[in-house]
């Protein structure tokens, strides 16, 4: 083993179960004022990478790109602390689901993010893996509706109509993620957002409306070597994802009702991507608490089983000194 591995080499050794010099580490966040055009997204992601030299780049596109081409309209702010606010939503009644048709992902917001992703891969170079953020089809469908409560009502009142929309969404993103891999992405980061938590749905509902479409997207991404399934929120349904065809599971083990890292290791032999609480410790500090939390997380599983990362996107008001502490702690780790 070389004395100094590249990020790509380190990830490859982790995925192959080989000895590592240290755990891989990365973090990701939004730049609300600097992600609303392709060039701005590229610049914000590459500057963030240059500051911290993460072992991989998880591309945090604006969390609206996936629905803009279906007619959701947003109000964007120049304030770095204010995220976009939805102003118009195309699905109001169950019959509106039938208006959701497959998109040409080469155009519009999808095409813009794809082109930005290609440029990020080019600038990052061959020694680091890049992952685009892709949202689960059920999550995309929910974001076409004005509120979570209204979406839940439409799911229950018009399941057949919703399934038709989920098919159209999945067809769109099957082609989209395949193109991401063709332009050099190492895999995808597939996120459930609010919809794989028992606070929103039953497990039976997720198995009906979530899982089949997740699997379609992951099949389209199956040539990727670094696919990640991210299960969001507290009280999440992580056990439902233990047999998904991905090498890596990501979640926040510090969220209420969630499995700890050691508990997850008892039900899954996958690699985990987590280790520090983005809502509490990483955001609030102090530095010693961040260091202790990530070291304790790494100790919960054998070396190589944990890629050090936040449990979800870093809050935009998190001090960069706290991110530095995360990076330095992991890069200074000794077996």
Region 138-148: mean pLDDT is: 98
Domain that holds residue 114: 7-331
Q: Does some domain include residue 225?
A: yes
- In the chain, how many domains are there? 1
Query: Between 282 and 335, whose confidence is greater?
Result: 282
Q: 254, 236, 247, 246: which is closest to 294 by C-alpha?
A: 254
pLDDT of residue 263: 98
* Residue-wise pLDDT tens digits, 60-86: 999 999 999 999 999 998 899 999 999
Region 126-141: mean pLDDT is: 98
pLDDT of residue 4: 85
Cβ atoms < 10 Å from Cβ of 203: 14
Tell me, what CATH number does 264's domain have? 3.20.20.210
Q: Does some domain include residue 122?
A: yes
Q: Does some domain include residue 111?
A: yes
Q: Does some domain include residue 50?
A: yes
Residues in the chain: 335
pLDDT of residue 23: 97
pLDDT of residue 155: 98
Whether residue 231 is predicted with pLDDT greater than 90 in this model: the reply is yes
Whether residue 252 is predicted with pLDDT greater than 90 in this model: the reply is yes
pLDDT of residue 1: 61
Q: Does some domain include residue 1?
A: no
pLDDT of residue 31: 97
Q: Does some domain include residue 264?
A: yes
pLDDT of residue 293: 98
**Percent of the chain with pLDDT strictly greater than 70:** 99
pLDDT of residue 165: 98
Q: What are phi and psi of 272, to 5 degrees?
A: -110, 145
CB neighbour list of residue 228: distance below 8 Å, 6 or more residues apart: 131, 187, 188, 189, 190, 246, 248, 249, 250, 273
Question: Cβ(96)–Cβ(105) under 8 Å?
Answer: no
Q: Does some domain include residue 226?
A: yes
pLDDT of residue 276: 98
Whether residue 161 is predicted with pLDDT greater than 80 in this model: the reply is yes
**Percent of the chain with pLDDT strictly greater than 90:** 98
Q: Does some domain include residue 312?
A: yes
pLDDT of residue 334: 81
* Residue-wise pLDDT tens digits, 6-56: 999 999 999 999 999 999 999 999 999 999 999 999 999 999 999 999 999
* Residue-wise pLDDT tens digits, 319-332: 999 999 999 999 99
pLDDT of residue 3: 62
Report the C-alpha gap between 61 and 42 in whole angstroms.
9
């Amino acid at each position: 083993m070389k004395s100094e591995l590249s990020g790509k080499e380190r990830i490859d050794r982790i995925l192959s179960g080989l000895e590592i010099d240290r755990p891989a580490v990365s973090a990701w966040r939004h730049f609300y004022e600097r992600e609303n055009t392709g060039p701005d997204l590229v610049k914000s992601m590459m500057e963030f990478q240059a500051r911290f030299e993460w072992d991989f780049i998880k591309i945090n596109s604006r969390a609206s790109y996936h629905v803009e081409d279906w007619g959701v309209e947003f109000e964007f702010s120049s304030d770095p602390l204010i995220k976009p606010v939805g102003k118009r939503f195309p699905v109001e009644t169950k019959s509106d689901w039938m208006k959701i048709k497959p998109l040409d992902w080469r155009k519009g917001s999808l095409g813009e993010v794809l082109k930005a992703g290609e440029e990020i891969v080019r600038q990052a170079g061959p020694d680091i893996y890049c992952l685009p953020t892709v949202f689960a089809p059920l999550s995309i469908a929910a974001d076409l509706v004005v509120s979570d409560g209204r979406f839940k009502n439409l799911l229950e009142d018009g399941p057949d109509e919703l399934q038709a929309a989920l098919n159209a969404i999945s067809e769109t993103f099957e082609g989209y993620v395949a193109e991401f891999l063709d332009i050099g992405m190492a895999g995808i980061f597939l996120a459930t957002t609010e919809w794989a938590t028992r606070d929103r749905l039953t497990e039976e509902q997720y198995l009906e409306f979530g899982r089949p479409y997740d699997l379609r997207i992951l099949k389209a991404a199956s040539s990727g070597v670094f696919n990640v399934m991210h299960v969001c929120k507290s009280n999440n349904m992580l056990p439902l994802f233990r047999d998904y065809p991905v090498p890596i599971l990501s979640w926040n083990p510090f969220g209420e009702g969630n499995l700890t890292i050691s508990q997850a290791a008892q039900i899954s032999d996958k690699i985990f991507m987590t280790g520090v609480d983005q809502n509490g410790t990483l955001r609030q500090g102090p530095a010693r608490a961040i260091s202790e939390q990530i070291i304790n997380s790494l100790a919960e599983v054998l070396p190589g089983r944990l890629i050090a990362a936040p449990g979800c996107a870093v809050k935009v008001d998190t001090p960069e000194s706290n991110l530095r502490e995360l990076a330095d702690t992991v890069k200074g780790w000794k077996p």
